[in-house]
Amino acid sequence: MHKSFDLFFVSSNNHKYHEAKNILDSFGIRLGFIKSRLEEIQSNSLCDIAMAKASYAFSQFKKPLIIEDDGLFIDSIGGFPGPYSSYVFKTIGNRGILSLLKNNRKAKFVSIITYCDKTTLQSFEGNLNGKISKSQKGKGWGYDPIFVPNNSVKTFAEINNKNELSHRYKALKKFSKWYLHK
């Protein structure tokens, strides 16, 4: 099992894996999938959460791997939900977020990709500025129907080139440069 890949993505989220696979394919890196829900430490730092998650995943699976931790940071509510994005999505969801916002709708998506193997633990960050739409638009996962990237009038759920500009793309592009030369 898991033999033909050099690098694995450990996550419980199929959407994240499919996007990461598509992006890394374009950089010539083949990505396997270990579907697993990893325990998360509580912290205000996405990077600390990602590093802890990656070390834990490596201790479990003992294969070179990457994990991802994301946050949606909304300006007018002090960067909330940030590191609590997953919990907030499960509890109040997109409707709840929309009900909290007025005129200032600026937001950013942050992705931390952390690589771990026997000797190395290294993180890569990708940020994408944008805003929160006034209503949900398009069919997409997570916050896709309410996040409008800068220079677009459409939400992530409505565009067809998300994987060429997303926070995930930016973090994985940095990772790929490093990984292919390490």
**Between the CA atoms of 22, 28, 24 and 12, what dihedral angle is there, to the nearest 10 degrees?**
80
> Which residue lies nearer to ligand IMP by CB, 32 or 142?
142
Catalytic residue among 6, 25, 69, 70: 69
Among 8, 73, 124, 156, binds ligand IMP (CB under 6 A): 156
Stretch 66-105: interaction string toward ligand IMP, x if CB under 6 A: --xxx-x------------xx--x----------------
Nearest alpha-carbon partner for 110 in 35, 174, 180? 174
Cα radius of gyration rounded to whole Å, the chain: 16
In angstroms, what is the minimal distance from the CB of 171 to ligand IMP?
11
Nearer to ligand IMP, 72 or 107 (CB): 72
Q: Which stretch binds ligand IMP (CB under 6 A): 30-38, 54-62, 114-122, 137-145?
A: 137-145
Quick one: CA torsion of 21, 25, 26, 28, rounded to 10 degrees? Answer: 140
Q: How far apart are CA 181 and CA 177, in angstroms?
A: 7
Residues near 4 by Cβ (< 8 Å), separated by ≥ 6?
A: 32
Judged by CB, which is closer to ligand IMP: 133, or 166? Answer: 166
**124 binds ligand IMP per the rule CB under 6 A:** no
Residue 25 annotated as catalytic:
no
* Strand 147-149 versus strand 106-116 pairing type: unpaired
Binding site for ligand IMP (CB under 6 A): 13, 68-70, 72, 85-86, 89, 141-144, 156, 166, 168
Which of the residues are catalytic?
69
